[in-house]
A and B are shown apart, each in its own frame.
With several copies, the nearest count.
Chain A
Amino acid sequence: MNKTVSDLTIIKNTRLNHDNYLLELQSYIKLEGIIPGQFVNILVSDSQATFLRRPFSIFEVNYHQNSISVLVKVVGPGTEKLSSLKPSDTLNVIFPLGNGFSMPMAKEKILLVGGGVGIAPMMQMAKDSRELGAEVHILLGARTKMDHILIEEFSRFGTVYLTSDDGSVGVKGFVTNHPVLLQNNGFNQIYCCGPEPMMKAVAKKAKELNVRCEVSLENAMACGFGVCLCCVTKTTGGNKCVCTDGPVFNINDLSWPI
């Protein structure tokens, strides 16, 4: 769909754990053809500390009820404010933004890797990929058991694997320590979102395994729709905007030293 600036109404705000909230937003503009990996840019009004909008991945789209949801991890004043909102509060949102993931084909075996709040774009991705007939595997990494959220929801769409830094759940260590990534499991594609060091490690692994891999970057943004040129990342084709040419990039196009 075309980019739009629109007031969305909060239908539901669910506290998932100590610092993660799931906001469900009603749209009055008809939602159509949103691609997993696209994002929204939210104006956090009424907060002295937030001048610019705040970008969030689209966590899930519900075309039936014409709503989208975003997963918000509280890290500063903007996310703090968002986490405190209540049903019937409204948010001014620009969406849908960015390119989104390239979708797998039927029968393809894919691995979605999400670290921390980087799991956000993976829910819709898992759902849509499953619908397209792909075989979906989902590897989720977090610091501790307490930080792992939405495992059940993910497992509706694929096989879930877990890692935790402290070993309190799943395999101890980073996602790249998990056997599912260590061994060549015949994945056709790997999709990854999380902290940059994690994405680089996964990209490196994918390269070794010779598997096509896309990562979703989270560079700091001022506009979100390609006019300020603040969010650039180096690519083989020069500096590209993460907000329009991304946030999803094929790792081969990035100038990462991997």
Chain B
Amino acid sequence: MANLSINIHKLELKNPVMTASGTFGNGTEFDDFFDVSQLGAILLKGTTLHNREGNEYPRMAETPSGMLNAVGLQNKGIDYFIRHIYPKVSEYKTNVIINVNGSTVEEYIELTEKVNQLDKIPAIELNISCPNVKEGGMAFGTNVKMAEKVTREVRKVYEKTLVVKLSPNVTDIAEIARAVEAQGADSVSLVNTFLGMAIDANTMKPVLSTITGGLSGPAIKPIALRMVWQVARAVKVPVIGIGGIMNATDAIEFILAGASAVQIGTANFINPNISVDIINGINDYMEKHKLKSINDLIGGLQM
């Protein structure tokens, strides 16, 4: 067994494989399939201060090698989470991370303060890149000034590991990454979904109730990989790679490009066991290539 453990700031991961927010429920939905404590970390679904019903159905469109979603952060709010879900998920023997969302800086702060009280949550992922909400969301992630501001303010009230999740819908993602790093982000995760659209030619209508939605899955992998590579060269903090990872080879590509860890998203829908399979696949690859530690693989791209 190769040494897969890696630290992201104060966060200690037994391996670099996490699940992506919004694609893994609260983790408990996977209990039937495998022991989620095997993972490096699990990212809970996007959480807001108050209950959100999300967008109208239809919220999904299948696309070539991918899918669009327009869930819109449906969740019951942080108080419900603390009361009903936290007790269960804090039993897991892995890092449980909350994906923090707000429509104003104040909301981000208030939510973060509440999460800060939770002993068993060692990190938050600040989602400034949700394309499916009317207010806030992606607006924070596509504007340097706003990305800086929300990171700075949240940093003030949060001392544990602060990961900022970046939007790919920008001209220069490295610029945003550098900006949030300068404001105190301990890590950046990328990418969130690409803003896309699907039309039903038969009905002449948009497929999604919200017209546009977020594109995920292998279709976006080449762009996500490029962005991770660019950001890894632009910042000093560890980078978490996300986007269309379907198997161990994909995950290894992100790590070679400079990611210290990866998140598995849409692939969970197709194969609920995929995240453990990927851990095993990375281990096999490292043994084959005689790499002792995952550190030998991170940014190992040869040019």
> Which A positions have Cβ atoms within 8 angstroms of B?
2-5, 43, 48-53, 92, 94, 219-234, 238-239, 244
Chain A contacts for B66, CB-based, 8 A: 51
Q: A3 and B32 in contact (CB under 8 A), knowing A51-B64, A52-B269, A226-B25? A: yes
Min CB gap A146→B, angstroms: 23
A-B contacts besides A52-B67, A228-B60, 10 pairs, CB < 8 Å: A2-B32, A5-B273, A50-B62, A51-B63, A52-B270, A219-B58, A224-B269, A230-B59, A230-B60, A232-B57
Chain A contacts for B113, CB-based, 8 A: none
Q: Verify if B69 is at the interface (C-beta below 8 Å from A).
A: yes
Q: Is the CB of B24 within 8 A of A229?
A: no
Chain A contacts for B45, CB-based, 8 A: 227, 229
B30-72 vs A, CB cutoff 8 Å, 1 = contact: the mask equals: 1011000000000001000001011001111011111101010
Chain A contacts for B22, CB-based, 8 A: 228-229
Q: Is the CB of A51 within 8 A of B29?
A: no
Q: Is the CB of A228 within 8 A of B23?
A: yes
Q: Is the CB of B59 within 8 A of A232?
A: yes
Q: Is the CB of A233 within 8 A of B57?
A: yes
Chain A contacts for B272, CB-based, 8 A: 5, 94, 225
Q: A51 and B67 in contact (CB under 8 A), knowing A220-B58, A220-B60, A227-B23? A: yes
Q: Is the CB of A51 within 8 A of B59?
A: no
Chain A residue at minimal CB-CB distance from B271: A5
| A222, B62: Cα distance in complex, Å | 8
| A219, B268: Cα distance in complex, Å | 19
Min CB gap A139→B, angstroms: 27
Chain B residue at minimal CB-CB distance from A226: B29
| A219, B22: Cα distance in complex, Å | 19
Chain B residue at minimal CB-CB distance from A76: B62
Q: Is the CB of B268 within 8 A of A227?
A: yes
Q: A222 and B67 in contact (CB under 8 A), knowing A43-B270, A53-B270? A: yes
Chain A contacts for B25, CB-based, 8 A: 226-227
Q: 8 Å CB contacts to A: which residues of B247-268?
A: 266, 268
A-B residue pairs, 8 tightest by C-beta: A227-B25, A230-B60, A223-B269, A3-B32, A2-B32, A230-B59, A229-B71, A227-B29
Q: Is the CB of B74 within 8 A of A229?
A: yes
| A227, B22: Cα distance in complex, Å | 7
